[in-house]
Amino acid sequence: MATSCTKKEGTPGPDDSAFRTQSELSDVVIVVEGRPLHVNRSVLSLISPVFLKMFNGEWKGKAEVPLADKKYDHFVELLLCVYPPHGKLISMETLDVVLPLADEYGIESLKLRCEAFVLARFQHRITKFNNPPTKELVHFLYLADKYKLKTLLEESVEKVILRPYDGKGGVKMLNEFGLLSVEVKYRITSERLCLLEKQQCPFSL
């Protein structure tokens, strides 16, 4: 599935200079795609309960830890978002990279930052942000459903029920709409029905 943060060929990767070499504070090396990232296990353990469990379990005492199923640039983006003192802001280019990793590693604060980023777009004074194209809106809905972002789910549903449903360009025709949970699909169809009934009977209470 294509994401909004697909890196264009020739585009430089994220700034990994803080993690390329050993520092006074780094005490473990995480190897991603054969490339080392020098980090501090205590810092990662404070950020993520999953890292805490790993460093006290299968990774305990290891000076070097390989992550075979991760992409180097994606993991650097995660570190830049959560590792002090960086605190990199979420963007459309990084949302689909850091949100899945935040969910995988149980970093709830980063998940909430991702949610807040999209909600801020919904409230933006510029129309193209607060009223995104249907495909982008359904993508936000899909993320909210998949990663249990309750506030974003509410806001996305409110917008989606106002969009065309069937036919060319309708929300039902988009791939990610098909990936939504049964509960969310049912809610959308139910709320659309209620909306249509109110429009057809303007004097109803």
Q: Write out pLDDT tens, residues 6-28.
A: 455 557 889 999 999 999 999 99
* Nearest to 101, CA basis, from 36, 48, 176: 48
C-beta of residue 48 within 8 angstroms of C-beta of residue 55: no
Is the residue at 114 inside a domain?
Answer: no
5 belongs to a structural domain: no
191, part of any domain? yes
Strand-pair partners of 30:
37, 65
For the chain, the domain total comes to: 2
Claim to verify: residue 27 and residue 93 sit in the same structural domain = yes
Q: ∠ CA(38), CA(42), CA(45), 5° rounding?
A: 105
* 95-104 and 72-82 helices, crossing angle to 10°: 80
How high is the mean pLDDT of the chain?
A: 91
> Which residues, 6+ apart, have CB-to-CB distance to 121 below 8 Å?
129, 130, 132
Q: Is the pLDDT of residue 201 over 60?
A: no
Spatial contact of 140 and 133, defined as CB atoms under 8 Å apart: no
Q: Pick the closest to residue 195 from 164, 172, 149 (CA basis).
A: 164
Can you read off the two tokens belonging to residue 61?
A: 């005492």
Residue 1 located in a structural domain? no
Provide the token pair at 86: 């960086």
* Chain segment 107-164, per-residue pLDDT in tens: 999 999 999 999 999 999 999 889 999 999 999 999 999 999 999 999 999 999 999 9
Domain of residue 200: give its range.
132-205
pLDDT category of residue 59 using cuts at 50, 70 and 90: very high
Q: Which residues contact 131 (CB under 8 A, 6 or more apart)?
A: 159
Does residue 27 fall inside a structural domain? yes
Model pTM score: 0.88
Terminal C-alpha separation, the chain: 43
**Bridging pattern class, strands 35-39 and 64-67:** unpaired
Domain boundary among 57, 90, 107: 107
4 vs 87, more confident: 87
Is residue 106 a contact partner of residue 78, using CB atoms and an 8 Å limit?
Answer: no
Residue 89 and residue 22 share a domain: yes
Q: Is residue 119 part of a domain?
A: no
